[in-house]
Structure 1
Amino acid sequence: MANVLIIDDDDMVRTMLLRTLTRGGHEAVGARDGIEGVDAFRRNPADLVITDIFMPNQEGLATIMELRRSYPSIKIIAISGGGARASLDVLPVAEALGAQKTLRKPFTPAEVMDAVRDVLGA
């Protein structure tokens, strides 16, 4: 199965995604923000990156741009609940920057696995 990097500052969301993906047969590792995520990807490139949008240190849109610039064929799913700016819908911007799929929080494990299958073509 796939190697997936999950970038999310919310420990509960990151843990849920890690569990969902490993139960689905994937190998998954987590990072707490975009800086940590990009560093993790450079050390061990993943087949897929799932990144939150609103995070401290380096948010998801900057992370998507940086990863896409260095790794043009990278597969990305962007996730967001809007954070403190819940009325701000940036998921279309994430798609415009190169995310193949987006998920709005809260989502179910089944929705995550469907999105992963869609993006990986499995």
Structure 2
Amino acid sequence: MEIRDNSLKSLMVVDDDDQLRNLLKEIFSRINYQVITACDGADALKKMMQVKVDLVILDLIMPEKEGIETLSDIRVNYPETKIMAVSGGSHQLNAPMLLNIAQTLGADDVLKKPFDLNEIIEAVDKLLN
């Protein structure tokens, strides 16, 4: 496996699940990405006004400002930022349906929860390198 210098790449993990958010932060920090976290879409957009982000890993089901609305806002205001939408679905919509909507709205990649850690690492590497 080729070793890359990811130190100049930044990503934001947006998820209301504290454990998953912290796990992804730890994993991507270990492979030298600069990682910012946000607990919902409103928090993410506020932080994006202050810091440039190369990639947003965005949960689609969250309280406050949910993922589909946040994805649309990021696409309009930060068109150069890559977006990876992730979802396990909801009571109203299953994950494939939500992820299809995300792709239609401009997500660069989608991943169904639960996902394998190697799967998300490879997907991020593909989007950013």
Q: TM-score scaled to structure 1, two decimals? A: 0.93
SS in 2 for 1:6: strand
Higher relative contact order (CA 8 A, sep 6+): 1
Q: 1:72-102 CA deviation, whole Å, 9 max, x = no partner?
A: 1210000001144463520011111111101
Match of 1:62 in 2: 69
Q: Which has the larger radius of gyration?
A: 2
Structure 1 stretches (4+) deviating beyond 6 angstroms?
none
| AA aligned opposite 1:48 | L
Matched, 1:31 2:51: no
Q: 1:16 to 1:85 in 2, by over 3 A?
A: farther
Query: Which residues of 2 match residues 1-122 of structure 1 at below 5 A?
Result: 1=6, 2-85=9-92, 87=94, 89-120=97-128, 122=129
Q: Which segments of 5 or more consecutive residues in structure 1 lack a partner in the other structure? A: none
Query: Higher helix fraction: Structure 1 or Structure 2?
Result: 1
User: Is the contact made by 1:24 and 1:113 (CA closer than 8 Å) also made in structure 2?
Assistant: no
SS in 2 for 1:43: coil
Identity of aligned residues (%): 35
The RMSD of aligned alpha carbons is 1.3
SS in 1 for 2:107: coil
Q: 1:13 to 1:85 in 2, by over 3 A?
A: farther
Q: TM-score scaled to structure 2, two decimals? A: 0.88
- How many equivalent residue pairs? 121
Distance in 2, Cα, partners of 1:6 & 1:117: 15
Stretch moving more, 20-29 or 49-58: 20-29
